[in-house]
Amino acid sequence: MEEILEHIKELEEEVAQLRTKLEVPVKIKRIEELQTMMSDASFWHDQAEAGKVVDEIKKLKAEVDDIEEITLMVDELNELAQLDDESLADDISTEFSKVNAKLKELHRALLFSGRFDSSDAIVELNSGAGGTESCDWVQMLYRMYTRWSENKKFSIRVLNEVKGDEAGIKNITFMVTGLRAYGLLKCEVGVHRLVRISPFDSNKRRHTSFASVDVVPDVADELEIKVNPDDLKIDTYRSSGAGGQHVNTTDSAVRITHIPTGIVVTCQNERSQHQNRLSAMKILTAKLYRIEEEKQKAQMQSLSGSKQRIEWGSQIRSYVLHPYLMVKDHRTGHEVPTAKDVLDGNIDSFIYAYLESMIGNN
């Protein structure tokens, strides 16, 4: 029993260290500040700002609740062990397993140290060369990310969608809302390759399709990026997407082109032209911020003489459905034979393998 109590003491120390690393006291103080703001009589006058405060509180509380939960679990385990009852050995072993699983989950939270890792994510999928094949592949990827989001109880909202000429989706932009959505999905940026027997080929030949995934954080309001209006070309046109009769019969869709960089952002699924324009500007601002961030990284790497990793726009993962089943990430070497499970949204093993490899490379 002394050995068990010693182990519990080690767990208590580990939880205390995690509490410090995860800045729990700072987060608790921030929650109190936000709750004070919410108690003000004028708080709900600005619905947009009020919504941001509510979202921030939810995310902070989720993080704090996790550490409080494991603290309680360790306390209960200690109380169980203090009874010094051999008949409780199986119960103690079960509780140890639960605590260790929770600790692993909390240690993973330390992987999300980026400035915007806790933010929501804006994801853009684009079909590559290959016509209908690639469009169908984009639709499969969209389904994969939708299933993954559902499993995490995240929400998805489509901002723009262009259907394929015959089937599938040419490109789609959607918002994923949930704790650390960007921190998780940023690992998906790059080219995704599919190998399979084509359902569109009457001769049942094997085809290879490509689609690109881009992810930016939903943090336009927090970015110090000033966009010169003279650098923008803004077009409006009739929406062809979902949204009801009003959307489809007025020029509510917005396309913004940033002339210096050539970045084009389109949004058509909001209820009005104004909302579509705001959403498009939000995406453009985040993309411009990322370009500046990549420039700074490249400059630092050139000064230090370090070799730059090929990331943006590179082929990162292959999904093979014929002649065997396999999904392999080319950055980490992580692979699984359960390709259908992966396409059904089980991508966490790839996400965490990448995050952990990045910690090792830094």
Mean pLDDT of 330-350: 97
Q: Nearest 5°: CA angle at 191, between 145 and 309?
A: 115
Mean pLDDT of 140-154: 97
**What per-residue confidence (pLDDT) applies to 360?**
55
Q: Which run of H or of E encompasses 349?
A: helix 348-361
**Sheet arrangement for strand 206-217:** 155-163, 169-177, 121-127, 206-217, 190-197, 315-320, 326-329, 335-336
Query: Taking a C-beta distance cutoff of 8 angstroms, is the pair 37, 54 a contact?
Result: no
Ordered DSSP codes for 44-71: GGSHHHHHHHHHHHHHHHHHHHHHHHHH
| CB contact set of 56 (below 8 Å; sequence gap of 6+) | 30, 34
Give the model's confidence band at 240: pLDDT under 50 very low, under 70 low, under 90 confident, else very high.
Answer: low
Higher pLDDT, 52 or 76: 76
**What per-residue confidence (pLDDT) applies to 190?**
93
Residue 35 has pLDDT above 90, yes or no: yes
Mean pLDDT of 291-301: 73
Give the model's confidence band at 311: pLDDT under 50 very low, under 70 low, under 90 confident, else very high.
Answer: very low
Residue 269 has pLDDT above 50, yes or no: yes
Residue 103 has pLDDT above 70, yes or no: yes
Of 93, 37, 44, 96, which is closest to residue 70 (Cα–Cα)? 96
Of 69, 203, 176, 70, which is closest to residue 119 (Cα–Cα)? 176
Lowest mean pLDDT among 188-192, 238-242, 243-247: 243-247
Beta strands in 218-346 (DSSP E): 232-237, 253-258, 263-267, 315-320, 326-329, 335-336
Query: Taking a C-beta distance cutoff of 8 angstroms, is the pair 280, 287 a contact?
Result: no
Which domains does the chain carry? 2-109 (1.20.58.410), 121-218+318-361 (3.30.70.1660), 229-304 (3.30.160.20)
Strands 315-320 vs 190-197: parallel, antiparallel or unpaired: parallel
Task: Share the mean pLDDT of the chain.
Answer: 87
Lowest mean pLDDT among 22-31, 53-62, 254-263: 53-62
Residue 316 has pLDDT above 60, yes or no: yes
Residue 124 has pLDDT above 60, yes or no: yes
Taking each helix axis as running N to C, give the angle between helix 89-109 and helix 47-82, from 0 to 180 degrees, rounded to the nearest 10: 150
**What per-residue confidence (pLDDT) applies to 308?**
36
Query: Taking a C-beta distance cutoff of 8 angstroms, is the pair 276, 254 a contact?
Result: yes
- Residue 356: C-alpha distances to residues 99, 175, 192, 231, 241 (Å): 21, 25, 20, 39, 39
Residue 223 has pLDDT above 70, yes or no: no
Q: What is the dihedral of CA 122, 128, 130, 131, to 10 degrees?
A: 40
Mean pLDDT of 145-157: 96
Query: Taking a C-beta distance cutoff of 8 angstroms, is the pair 192, 161 a contact?
Result: no
Higher pLDDT, 129 or 170: 170
Of 314, 292, 287, 294, which is closest to residue 212 (Cα–Cα)? 314
Read off the amino acid at residue 146: T
Residue 20 has pLDDT above 70, yes or no: yes
Mean pLDDT of 33-61: 90
The two tokens of residue 318 are: 């292959």
**What per-residue confidence (pLDDT) applies to 222?**
67
Instruction: Render pLDDT for 347-359 as a digit per residue (tens, 0 to 9).
Output: 999 999 999 998 7
**What per-residue confidence (pLDDT) applies to 304?**
43
Instruction: Render pLDDT for 163-210 as a digit per residue (tens, 0 to 9).
Output: 998 899 999 999 999 989 999 999 999 999 999 998 888 788 899 999
Residue 143 has pLDDT above 90, yes or no: yes
Residue 207: beta bridge partners? 196
Give the model's confidence band at 246: pLDDT under 50 very low, under 70 low, under 90 confident, else very high.
Answer: very low
**What per-residue confidence (pLDDT) applies to 345?**
98
Q: pTM for this one?
A: 0.77
